[in-house]
Amino acid sequence: MRKNTTNVPDLSYLQLDGAMTVFYQLNTAELVGAALKRNEGVLADTGALAIDTGEFTGRSPKDRFIVEDDITRDTVWWGKVNFKFDAEKFDALLQKVTGYLSQGEIFVRDCCACANEKYYIDIRVVTETAYQNLFAHHLFLRPEVPDATLVPGWTIIAAPGFKADPEVDGTLRHNFSIINFTKKIILIGGTAYTGEIKKGIFSVLNFILPHEKKVLSMHCSANIGAKGDTAIFFGLSGTGKTTLSADPERNLIGDDEHGWCDDTIFNFEGGCYAKCIDLTAEKEPQIFNAIKFGALLENINFIKRTRTVDFSNIGKTENTRVAYPLYYISNAVIPSTGHLPKNIFFLTADAFGILPPVSKLTVEQAMYHFISGYTAKVAGTEAGITEPKATFSACFGEAFLPLNPVNYAELLGNKIKKHNVKVWLINTGWTGGAYGTGKRMQLKYTRAMISAALSGELDNVKYTVHPVFNLQMPQSCPNVPDNLLNPSNTWADAEIYNEKANDLAIAFIKNFRRYAPFCKSEIINAAPKVTESTLVT
């Protein structure tokens, strides 16, 4: 093995002891330099590194597996999102991947996750490309003094150029992301989409924290106001976690993954991974200004004959992204922890234009909607999705949850009750009709509704009850036109609205059948009320 410095960790535990050159713990400038030298990308005019991830520009949930072993066999909720992988096949595939990586250059980085030292885990990331290592450098936390002699808690191996042979290797396709809880290894191959790296560790934490430590792990963003009031924003991809948590009036704790223990909220990560589609300095100034030297732009296009990013160009994918460390946002909280939340927002991008743009939930409704995890997926983040489609994903992140979702919901419900937290459902999606007829709620109005909820201005207004979903809808909200607050007013025909609301409610009820056997009756009773005759099957 050739080493770029003498201080290189022993990688023999991975059988990585071939003739490769190892670059250990390069800093941002060195990684950008290496990426340019290796023709992985080019610099944009703001200094950010722009790369393409190739075949995959989003995660590939069907190709994500968990090794079945003594730890996972009776604990993981196998089925819908957690697919089994054979332990021996894993060992064989690991050997093939490390053999492949032993041929060239590799980038090794020691980092960690969880901004709360009680739950801190060490992570070693071994990547085939310099830019994936830069991604890990930005998204994970940085240890004060990296220790190359340490055998890390977890190791992630990312080899995008390695293609599996499904027949021999036991994968579904040539790309894969496999978690092995016994070996503490995440093995990623055949895909260069960097999001797989961060979501791999997120899945691990979603197992370890609730199962072993009784800490709630959450797919949410978090920010904190001047008075120390924390707010958290749950939501599936594209619903607004990153966008709405970047708020100049509040300090950012984190944009995607957090833990909730007895006394604090803490970020798992050290960076942000923001969408770039239609980004403007006016609408999203903080994200826009973070796209500077060191930031990693993915799958963007430039304006012809320039190195200026054309944020409206979605020629490669709608899921264009930028990764940057948290401190690129001027008002980030470091270390990223906060007091227990006073407000929780469930974000949904309802493509049917049915759910009210802001509504207040009871504890039971909160648990019902948390377990339902409804949204309409916006194109691009997952392979094969090309237009918005209604989806349910428990806890607003079922794809990353190894345990039965009801475990997480119970932890959340207990915390909401114990700390008397207000819970709001925010529809950042369509108004005035479904996708195609209506249009997306303007960001400035969503921001105004959230501000009003946070400041307490929605505590003393009158509310209307939604006829189907039973949600409390405010009749007025500062800086938002009254007529937007009740979705039925925004539709051309209120009767059609009611019909469609009933249809969506049926979809909720059918989806919930999967979870109902594990839930108390008061949660099941928080379901929307549909016309009985329409719910036949």
Residue 14, beta-bridge partner list: none
Binding-site partner at residue 446 among Mn ion, ligand ATP, none, CB < 5 to 8 Å by type? ligand ATP
How far from the centroid of its chain's Cα atoms is residue 319's Cα? 13
Task: Return the DSSP state at 442.
Answer: P
Q: Which is nearer to ligand ATP, 169 or 318 (CB)?
A: 318
How far from the centroid of its chain's Cα atoms is residue 62's Cα? 17
CB of 266 to Mn ion, least distance (A): 17
User: How far, in Å, CA of 239 to CA of 15, rounded?
Assistant: 41
CB of 498 to Mn ion, least distance (A): 34
Q: What are phi and psi of 300, to 5 degrees?
A: -90, 165
Q: Which two tokens stand for residue 139?
A: 């998204």
Binding-site partner at residue 428 among Mn ion, ligand ATP, none, CB < 5 to 8 Å by type? ligand ATP
Which residue of the set 241, 275, 377, 466 is catalytic? Answer: 241
Give the x/- contact pattern for ligand ATP in 196-235, rule: CB under 6 A: ---------------------------------------x
User: How far, in Å, CA of 230 to CA of 260, rounded?
Assistant: 12
DSSP 499-521: HHHHHHHHHHHHHHTTTGGGS-H
Q: Which is nearer to Mn ion, 236 or 366 (CB)?
A: 236
Which residue of the set 138, 219, 275, 500 is catalytic? Answer: 219
Can you point out the beta strands (E) in 41-145? 41-43, 49-51, 64-67, 83-85, 105-113, 121-127
Member of 185, 218, 274, 406 binding ligand ATP (CB under 6 A): 274
Q: Which two tokens stand for residue 17?
A: 């002891």
Say whether 109 counts as a known binding-site residue.
no
Contacts of 470 (CB under 8 A, 6+ apart): 365, 526, 528, 529
CB of 235 to ligand ATP, least distance (A): 5
- Cβ neighbours around 233 below 10 Å, total: 31
Binding-site partner at residue 240 among Mn ion, ligand ATP, none, CB < 5 to 8 Å by type? ligand ATP
240 binds ligand ATP (CB under 6 A): yes
Binding-site partner at residue 93 among Mn ion, ligand ATP, none, CB < 5 to 8 Å by type? none
277 binds ligand ATP (CB under 6 A): yes
Residue where the block lists tokens 């995008």: 160
Say whether 120 counts as a known binding-site residue.
no
439 binds ligand ATP (CB under 6 A): no
User: How far, in Å, CA of 55 to CA of 505, rounded?
Assistant: 37
Say whether 431 counts as a known binding-site residue.
no
Q: State the number of binding residues for ligand ATP (CB under 6 A).
A: 20
Member of 64, 138, 241, 369 binding Mn ion (CB under 5 A): 241
Q: Is 59 a catalytic residue?
A: yes
243 binds Mn ion (CB under 5 A): no
β pairing state of 185-189 and 176-180 = antiparallel
Q: Is 503 a catalytic residue?
A: no
Considering only CA atoms, which of 387, 406, 383 is closest in space to residue 395?
406
Say whether 446 counts as a known binding-site residue.
yes
For residue 399, which amino acid is it? A
Give the catalytic positions in this structure: 59, 199, 219, 237, 241-242, 256, 321
Residues annotated in a binding site: 59, 193, 199, 219, 235-243, 256, 284, 321, 446
In the complex, the residues that contact Mn ion under the rule CB under 5 A are: 241-242, 256
In the complex, the residues that contact ligand ATP under the rule CB under 6 A are: 235, 237-244, 256, 273-275, 277, 381, 428, 440-441, 443, 446
